Amino acid sequence: MRKTEDSRTRTGRVAWGLALLLAAGLAAQADEERNEVPLSAADYQKLDTFEGVLLSKGDKVFANHEFRRAAAEYDGFVLQYPKSIAVPYALLRKGRSLQRDNKRFDAIKVYNEVLDYFPNAADYAGAALYYIGESNWQNGDAKAAMKAWAEMAQDADYRKHFLAAGAINQLADNLVRQDKWSEAVAYYQQVSVDFRRSNPPAALAAIGRLLECYVRVQPDEPKLWRAYQQAEGFEPSPRTPEPANYWWRVMEAIDRYDGDFAAADRAGRMRFLQYWAHAMEGKFPEWDDFQINLARYQRTVDGDTTRWMQRLDTQFEQHQKPGDYSRIIKWIGLFAPHRAKVDAYYARLAFDKMSMEQIAELIRTLYQQDIDKALARHTIERLPAEQTGDDARENLARWIWQRDEEGVRLVCAGMHDADRGRMTMLRYYRDTSQADKALKAAEDLVKVPQYAREVCMIRGEMFQQKHQWADAVAAYRQADFPPESLYRIASCLLSDGKREAAIGQYREIEGFFVKEAPEAALRIAYAYRDTGDQKQYVAALRAVLKKYPTSGQSSAAHLELERLGFKIGGGIDAE
């Protein structure tokens, strides 16, 4: 007899988990596998040997996604062992096999059998109820889905099932779509607490909704703090509630939702920021980031830049400690658009007492905040030579790479190893496609054994960029870095109209570099294609199929021949 209306729970995390994982950018398939309901250990121990073998067979084909065959295997188990303890599980898996084979109406009928005949097998009956909701949702019947999920959420047994978290979240989401946030938050709070450990993804989704409600939709800091405490934090794993951690999460949410306001809703945005500025006032006076954010929110509301500056100046003066140059640099970044303030804080720095890391931090701040390139270059010259190793200088140069060529030059000029400095500069010219400067810089470096091969490769690349094919080929031959140099030589020869010579290079790669052979053979085909020789192109593709049948290049050749309408095979064309 089917269980009464007020007692159902247990299985439905698949669809809800699917939504969560999709939101997190994960594969839907992985989500389904993670949320399948297994046979319980207790039930497994009660099976005899023959039952276990037959059931395992069904599980194996199910795991291989052979869902039609799996449905038949589970159906066969039920027919052969109608009194087995595993019948509700087998029926559930039969339903899942049908559902995942897109036979959802048939699946619902099987799920109802589980509910009708095994209502007290909560592990499986609860799951069946959830999957009924999920199947209806997938069929586009939202009303029927919500009915099943509501039944699950209200049942004293079924709502304890780990999949019930998904059902309850779905119900809450449905209320949100009706703009009934006050009713929805009760569901979200239930999931955030009851499923914190048994279903972390669903709990985190509920926590995210609580933040959305109490930060943006219905700002209420006291209720949000209680929700934080009850959920044991807002992180993926439970933690001891801490006010500072709580406010970090709140400020992250404020900034996130601040960007959601439409341009036309300036009044709504101002109310939002004003509420949180008021809620933050008077808290954590020594916490710089907290006070900086508070000042920013207040400035957005009142538009008073002078007051904002005064708040930041006061915060700095009240809590600055001697020798804390990193804090001064932070304030320089905060005042980036206001040059007078930047200069005032810059004057507080004592370069002779600062570490290389602090000066590098200052340089990055000046560039990143686009304060003044001249000031950034002046700061580069203040780097302490004795503290600044060439590794650190190269890292800094690469950070400046796309920002300021002169800054890169100054950093490289200060390297202890002059050749390394010049080589770093050459790589910069290569990466920024400045062929003439790169070729000039390479003239002397090609004589340095440590860098000679790379320099020749760069020279070849720069000549190739300038369409000086013969010079590029000569540079690549000098580099003697096969097979890469041979590939590039072939590319230059093709661009210079020397197809047969290029093919000769590809054949050299094919003959001497086993791992590269399939790729070289395919490039021979492309050389024929790009020069309009259709007959040789087809023959070369067939040669790839014949010589390298298990390679990825063979698959590419196969697809191309099919696209061209040719019969696939080896034959005389493959020779």
Task: Give the Cα-Cα-Cα angle 378, 429, 506 (nearest 5 degrees).
Answer: 160
| H helix runs in 449-567, sequence order | 452-465, 469-479, 484-495, 499-512, 517-530, 534-547, 552-564
Euclidean distance between CA atoms 39 and 405, whole angstroms: 65
Q: Is the distance from CB of 100 to CB of 74 less than 8 angstroms?
A: no
Please tell me whether residue 379 adopts helix, strand or coil conformation. Answer: helix
Type of residue at 429: Y
- Residue 438 has a CB neighbour count (10 Å cut-off) of 24
Largest CA distance in the chain: 91
Domains of the chain, CATH where assigned: 262-319 (no CATH), 482-575 (1.25.40)
Distances (CA, A) of 562 to 155, 486, 574: 57, 30, 16
Q: Residue 29's pLDDT is what? A: 55
In DSSP notation, 73-127 reads HHHHHHHH-TT-TTHHHHHHHHHHHHHHTT-HHHHHHHHHHHHHH-TT-HHHHHH
Q: Is the distance from CB of 518 to CB of 548 less than 8 angstroms?
A: yes
Q: Residue 19's pLDDT is what? A: 36
* Residue 61 backbone phi and psi in degrees, to 5: -70, -30
Q: Is the distance from CB of 187 to CB of 169 less than 8 angstroms?
A: yes
Tokens linked to 249: 């999460």
Euclidean distance between CA atoms 374 and 376, whole angstroms: 5
Angle between helices 200-211 and 243-258 (to 10 degrees): 70
pLDDT in tens, the chain (575 residues): 444 433 333 333 333 333 333 333 333 455 566 679 999 999 999 999 999 999 999 999 999 999 999 999 999 999 999 999 999 999 999 999 999 999 999 999 999 999 999 999 999 999 999 999 999 999 999 999 999 999 999 999 999 999 999 999 999 999 999 999 999 999 999 999 999 999 999 999 999 999 999 999 999 999 999 999 999 999 999 999 999 999 999 999 999 999 999 989 999 999 999 999 999 999 999 999 999 999 999 999 999 999 999 999 999 999 999 999 999 999 999 999 999 999 999 999 999 999 999 999 999 999 999 999 999 999 999 999 888 999 999 999 999 999 999 999 999 999 999 999 999 999 999 999 999 999 999 999 999 999 999 999 999 999 999 999 999 999 999 999 999 999 999 999 999 999 999 999 999 999 999 999 999 999 999 999 999 999 999 999 999 999 999 999 999 999 999 999 987 754 434 44
Q: Residue 35's pLDDT is what? A: 73
Tokens linked to 317: 């003066």
Q: Residue 33's pLDDT is what? A: 67
Q: What's the burial of 128, exposed, middle or buried (CB within 10 Å: 0-12/13-18/19+)?
A: buried
Euclidean distance between CA atoms 181 and 205, whole angstroms: 15
- 483 preceded by a cis bond (ω within 30 of 0): yes
Euclidean distance between CA atoms 457 and 464, whole angstroms: 10
Euclidean distance between CA atoms 534 and 545, whole angstroms: 17
Euclidean distance between CA atoms 263 and 254, whole angstroms: 17
Type of residue at 444: D
Q: Is the distance from CB of 350 to CB of 329 less than 8 angstroms?
A: no
What pTM does this model have? 0.78
351-364 in b/e burial notation, b at 16+ Cβ within 10 A? eeebebebbbbbbb
Euclidean distance between CA atoms 330 and 508, whole angstroms: 58
